[in-house]
Structure 1
Amino acid sequence: MTQTAAILAEASHFRAPTLVASSDSRFVRACLREPVDRTPVWFLRQAGRYMPEYMAVRRHHSLLDICRTPSIAAEVTITAAERLGVDAAIIFADLLLPFTPMGLDFEFVNGEGPVVHQPVRTREHIAALRTDRTDDLRYVAEAISTVSKHFASPRVDGDRLGIIGFCGAPFTLASYMIEGGSSRNYVETKKLMYGDRDAWRMLSDKLVTVLTAYAAQQVEAGADVIQVFDSWAGALSVEDYRDYVLPATTQLIQQIKTFGVPVIYFGVDTASLLPTMRETGADVLGLDWRVPLEEGWRLAGADVAVQGNLDPITLFAPQDVLRARVEGILAAAANRPGHIFNLGHGIVPGTPVDNVIAVAQWVRELSRRSGADRIGAPR
């Protein structure tokens, strides 16, 4: 039995191998394209530096301290979800956390973001990466367990808040490993990808193994949905995405789905990739703001739910402008089953909190279905 197969076998005791067709969470039902009474809403990076409560925590703890301390990560997650009045809470964590148990040290440097001090650029570097220490990541599962217990009871409207776990996609994490941090052109990543297909496959396989186990921990702890972030996939042509990225990403998403939860797959600047991204089998595709929602949904396909796609900088606009943009997205979605309102990327520092709260309120009010609409018209 391979290590990945062993992980799946071990995880199978806590989730059925097929997606559950109904849920007491409006958010989960929307992920599965089931009828809902209104459009669920949450925000990428909804716990972050724009929020005074979060900044109060940051005065005493670094980003990684928060991620690696379950009680604090849970507190930050819960506070944001309750303050904003959203339908889902995404656990406070960072994409790069799996690097440490794989034997790759990194840190966050002011003004630069994440920095990997010894980038992975040779076959020997890749061979040295470990896949047997994913238990070191269980602090994320502990935080999810706390959040899940906090939101276990339905709210006043009878809906239970959805709990979102997440991980990075193999390409995006590989690019951080190889570049040593963020990049504009991904030169080193593409050099390895093009120049040594076997090494690239070895790195992708190792990441899939680690990320599968990591996602399993999160689902076991109470995550209702797993979001897979492929933040930098938009740097790829369709041909390169299909040749070098689609196989490993599909494997990861299909393995997560065997845990019985829906999967959201999201990338930035990926409109050209959406028809290929749907081949991963993800239940929901995230849309960024560069593509109109109706066009993005057409590219994603009628049999896929979509999430998005307000430009996060629109949150700085006067409220009449902001409300009009919210109305436009909801009109484009037209109450079809399978739309989750969100941003096209994460909330940025300095965003007015009141505007974020207002968007959540407008979505709740404007998208509420009539009794007839709840049946769900054919797409």
Structure 2
Amino acid sequence: MSPLFNDIFLRACRNESVPHTPVWFMRQAGRYQAEYRAIREKYSFFEISHHPEICAQVTKMPVDNLGVDAAILFADIMTPLKARGLDVSIVENVGPVIKHPIRTGSDLAQLHQLEPNRDLPFVLETIETLHQQLTVPLIGFAGAPFTLASYLIEGGPSKNYHLTKAFMYTHSEDWQALMNDLAEMTITYLSAQIRAGAQAVQIFDSWVGSLSCEDYSRYIAPTMQHIFQALRETDAVTLYFSAGAGHLLPEWVKLPVDVLSVDWRTAPEGLTNAKVPQAIQGNIDPALLLAPWPLLQERVERLLDQMNGRSGYIFNLGHGVFPEVKQETLLRLTEFVHHYTSK
């Protein structure tokens, strides 16, 4: 590891003292970048991840261009399921689309079990390359069982998750079998990423905020407890993300996870160390990146001031960067957060 390695992100994840607030952005590699758009003209989303040199280049670009304190692997949450034989495609401006949605607990069992070295060597090679090249931590990631299940059952993105919830409520044994299968896949996949060189792993449970606390506690929490407890056996720090899930914080604080991500709908006043002992990541509304700079700066200053009294804070967005954002805005924002919080 380089003696110039910037470990501020990892220290914040562990609630340790840092010289300034670390910054990274979800979807910090993407269509807002001219370099990325040029690459996408030649390669599809999945094709990029199958070429380790190109994937490493895409992953590194935000670090080089923005000066962020962490890189996140360029991949998709459906990658391990596709590697197991699932017929899934990434449709532009739509997201993952499943050709044959599952309807019974045995449907997913027809896929072979994930063996990362056999099924995803290109992902592991990308991570190994980045581990040698980066001077900031690399975040590996995976989709959480509920969010993956929602795509598998709905057949693609959903506004209400009615089919997913109906399956959960009415087929309890099949649902638990599905959760168990996806949990073991997630543990296997993330453990392989960590062995390859990822110093942190984030689990994206993007759509679990559609559940009530009662349903989360009953149908989801035991699975997430199992996953995060298994990952505690590694040296990596763990992060958990969802959108619109602030009401689930009373359940989340019970999880053996290092960092909880929140979005702009969660008030900073409720994120003290006493209420949330884990480190916190978030939570600027990505839409503010299109606002005039004085307004964006005002909102960011207010957030940083409110977070100044707690240990363990990582500046991020409440969701991902979208194509209309200017790279210059992200660069200016990164530099501002670093300067404003420097001690």
2:80 and 2:114 in contact (8 A); partners too: no
Where in structure 2 are there 5+ consecutive unaligned residues?
none
Q: Does 1:69 align with 2:51?
A: yes
1:341 to 295, 298, 315: 315
Partner of 1:81: 63
Aligned to 1:52: 34
CA distance in 2, matches of 1:94, 1:101: 12
1:307 to 1:201, Cα distance in 2 relative to 1, 3 A? same
Partner of residue 227, structure 1: 202
Deviation at 1:109, TM superposition (A): 2.1
Is this contact kept in 1: 2:273–2:310, CA < 8 A? Answer: no
Deviation, 1:138, is 2.9
CA contact (8 A) 1:49 1:55 kept: yes
- In structure 1, the gaps of 5 or more residues are 1-22, 152-159, 370-379
Identify the residue that residue 121 of structure 1 maps to in structure 2: 103
Count of paired positions: 338
Residue of structure 1 equivalent to 2:259 = 284
Distance change in 2, residues 1:37/1:298 (3 Å): closer
Letter of the 1:328 partner, please give it. R
Q: Encode CA deviations 1:246-288: one digit per residue, 9 max, x unaligned.
A: 1111111111121121100010000100110122211100011
Asked whether the 8 Å contact 1:335–1:367 carries over to 2, the reply is no
Asked if the contact 2:31–2:323 (Cα under 8 Å) also holds between the matched residues in 1, the reply is: yes
Q: CA deviation at 1:306?
A: 0.1
CA distance in 1 between partners of 2:41 and 2:6 (Å): 37
Match of 1:332 in 2: 306
SS in 1 for 2:284: coil
Alignment of 1:12-27 (within 5 A): 25-27=7-9
Answer whether contact 1:89 1:164 (CA < 8 A) is retained. Answer: yes
Q: Aligned residue for 1:311?
A: 285
Task: Choose the corresponding residue for 1:274, options 240, 246, 249.
Answer: 249
Distance 1:301 1:140 in 2: 37
Note if 1:134 corresponds to 2:111: no
SS in structure 1 of the partner of residue 244 of structure 2 = coil
In structure 2, relative to structure 1, the CA distance for the partners of 1:33 and 1:272 (3 Å cut) is same
- Equivalence for 2:162: 187
SS of the counterpart of 1:54? helix
Residue 275 of structure 2, aligned match among 297, 301, 306? 301
Aligned residue for 1:342, secondary structure, equals strand
Over 3 Å counting, the alpha-carbon distance change for 1:24 and 1:41 in structure 2 is closer
Residue 226 of structure 1 aligns to a residue whose secondary structure is: strand
Work out the CA distance in 2 between the residues paired with 1:106 and 1:237: 29
- Single out whichever of 46-55 and 301-310 deviates more from structure 2: 301-310
SS at the partner of 1:341? strand
How far apart are 1:301 and its partner, in Å? 2.9
Query: Secondary structure of 1:61's match?
Result: coil
Question: Percent identity of the aligned residues?
Answer: 41
Q: Which residue of 2 aligns with 1:18?
A: none
Partner of 2:182: 207
| TM-score, structure 2 normalization | 0.95
Give the alignment's Cα RMSD to 1 decimal. 1.5
Aligned to 1:34: 16
Q: Take 1:270 and 1:363, find their aligned partners in 2: how far apart are those partners? A: 25
Deviation at 1:82, TM superposition (A): 1.1
Find the counterpart in structure 2 of residue 321 from structure 1. 295
SS at 1:165 equivalent: strand
- 1:43 corresponds to: 25
Q: How far off its partner does 1:49 sit?
A: 0.6
Tell me the distance in 2 between the aligned counterparts of 1:31 and 1:237. 27
Amino acid at match of 2:23: V
Q: CA deviation at 1:364?
A: 0.5
Out of 97, 102, 114, the residue aligned to residue 84 of structure 2 is 102
Name which of structure 1's ranges 251-260 and 37-46 shifts more when overlaid on structure 2: 251-260
Cα distance in 1 between the residues matched to 2:198 and 2:309: 26
CA distance in 1: counterparts of 2:334 and 2:37, whole angstroms: 22
2:334 maps to a residue whose letter is A
| Change in CA separation of 1:302 and 1:211 when aligned onto 2, cut-off 3 Å | closer
* 1:126 Cα offset (Å): 3.0
Residues 1:62 and 1:300: Cα distance change in structure 2 (over 3 Å): farther
Q: Distance in 2 between matches of 1:233 and 1:207?
A: 15
Query: CA shift at 1:300, angstroms?
Result: 8.5
Which deviates the most, 107-116 or 53-62?
A: 107-116
Decide whether the 8 Å contact of 1:275 with 1:299 is kept in 2. no
CA contact (8 A) 1:107 1:116 kept: yes
Q: Contact 1:46/1:346 (CA < 8 Å) preserved in 2?
A: yes
